[in-house]
Amino acid sequence: MSNKETLALATELENRRCNAIINGNIEELKELLSEDLFYGHAGGFYDGLNSFIDRLASGLVTYQVLATTVYQAIPLGENGISLNGEVVVEATINQVVHKLHCIYVGVWKLENKKWKFVAHQSARLPQPQ
């Protein structure tokens, strides 16, 4: 796969993941997320698959905005993609609205011929002065 094709695939996968999160589509998320998920949040905590799904399904966390811009996508052989970019987030957690602008790294891998999101880590960008 060429770099251009890898970037297009990564962008498509990220858009699907973000739309499923915003829409609270738990069934689609279960199709997109790996059993091995490590989801590191900018706030310094992380979720595995079950805790990530549980927080969304319970309504403890809802996302109003989750918009990614993938800057680079690097093939990891034929079965993986590492990507980096920026994400704008507006989420309600425990009835408190949080607005973030972050850089992030994500990893997708082929599992049983389906692309699965396996890792995420974000870090807040500094506020403009």
Model confidence over 9-32: pLDDT tens digits?
A: 999 999 999 999 999 999 999 999
Residue 127 confidence (pLDDT) above 90: no
Q: Quote the CA–CA distance of 42 and 104 in Å, as a whole number.
A: 9
Residue 114 confidence (pLDDT) above 90: yes
Phi-psi category of residue 48: left, alpha or beta, with phi > 0 → left and psi -120 to 50 → alpha: beta
First to last CA, the chain: 41
Residue 105 confidence (pLDDT) above 80: yes
Q: Quote the CA–CA distance of 107 and 38 in Å, as a whole number.
A: 10
Show me where the domains of the chain are located: 3-124
The type of residue at 9 is L
Please state whether the predicted TM-score (pTM) of the whole model is above 0.75: yes
Q: What is the pLDDT of residue 129?
A: 59
Topology of domain 3-124 in CATH is: Nuclear Transport Factor 2; Chain: A, (3.10.450)
Q: What percent of the chain has pLDDT over 70?
A: 98
What value does the mean pLDDT of the chain take?
Answer: 95
Radius of gyration of the chain (CA): 14
pLDDT band for position 36 (cuts 50, 70, 90): very high
Rounded to an integer, the average pLDDT of 62-73 is: 96
